[in-house]
Amino acid sequence: MEEQEDKRHSEDHLGPAREYWWNEDYLELLARRLNLEYCQSLVDIGCGKGMMGFKFSKYLPAGARVYGVDFEAEYIEEAQQRAQSIYLHNPIDYKFLVGNASDIPLPDNLADITLCQTLLIHVKDPQRVIEEMIRITKPGGWVVALEPNNLVPNLMFDRYGETDFDVESTLEVLEVKLRIEKGKKRLGEGFNSLGDVIPDLFVKAGLRDTKVWISDKALSIIPPYDSAETMLRVEQMISWIESEAMGYQYQDNLNYFMAGGGDKDKFDAYWQKLLYNKFNLKQRLQNGEYISAGGSLIYIVAGRKPRQSELE
């Protein structure tokens, strides 16, 4: 189930708009905080098409090696092809492997820094994945998770008129969202708002000096849609609506809702409102009228693997 969920997640997310998930100057700041200029090896678990490895590689010293591991062979192949073209401009040694995050196909104590992005929210046993990330990290090296709280946007507003909200109707929607989240976890398909509790998982795993930061990137859509980033984001949202992806799949959401303690009649009433809102959203996007600040909550949590002397 974990592998199937990871595939659905990747298919929904790994479009061109993903390249704009981070502000470049913020990545530069993270690179300084994590001392990437001194790292000889970086591993990205659940790497997809290699985006984070490529982005961080520009801050690594010449001759450093970047590893990427992902369950999807097609994404690993794309990452390898991209690495061949990037190498001419960035002399970093890239190596991409097909593998499972719960059993990483890399040796112990390999990496100066091991990271993952929006991976732990989709796995049944995030503690197991974190332990594997620790295993392949050198003593004294960093384990880093970039993970969101995806419930937060449900209490965000796009337009000023929405601030005159009906409390009861809002609570009904929140109940549905919470039960879907709860049911998804009960079915062993991860917890979409895991970002808040990564420090707890890191401490339980024995990591030291845990540090927590928050991304400064807002995924805004503001008319006119005249930048490549905004146009890609609009295109992606329309694609999600038309393909019933990213929260628009009826049967999956019904299954999660009922597993979370809900009943079908209540879900169907919610779904009818969702279909109406989806139609209106698509029209506003196509007419260039949709506006959103694009707020999100993405944590960057870093913990250091203790050295042997610290364990004695």
pLDDT in tens, 63-115: 999 999 999 999 999 999 999 887 656 678 999 999 999 999 999 999 999 99
Q: Where are the beta strands (DSSP E) in the chain?
A: 41-45, 65-70, 93-98, 111-117, 137-148, 208-214, 298-304
Model confidence, pTM: 0.93
Contact between 2 and 123 under an 8 Å Cβ cutoff? The reply is: yes
Copy the structure tokens of residue 86. Answer: 């990037």
Read off the pLDDT of residues 265-311 as tens digits, 9 standing for 90 and up: 999 999 999 999 999 999 999 999 999 999 999 999 999 999 988 88
Phi–psi pair at 140, nearest 5 degrees: 90, -10
Per-residue pLDDT reduced to its tens digit, 152-185: 999 999 999 999 999 999 999 999 999 999 999 9
Residue 23 confidence (pLDDT) above 60: yes
183 vs 192: CA distance, rounded Å: 11
Residue 293, Ramachandran bin (φ over 0: left; ψ between -120 and 50: alpha; else beta): alpha
Quote the DSSP letter at residue 247.
T
pLDDT at 3: 40
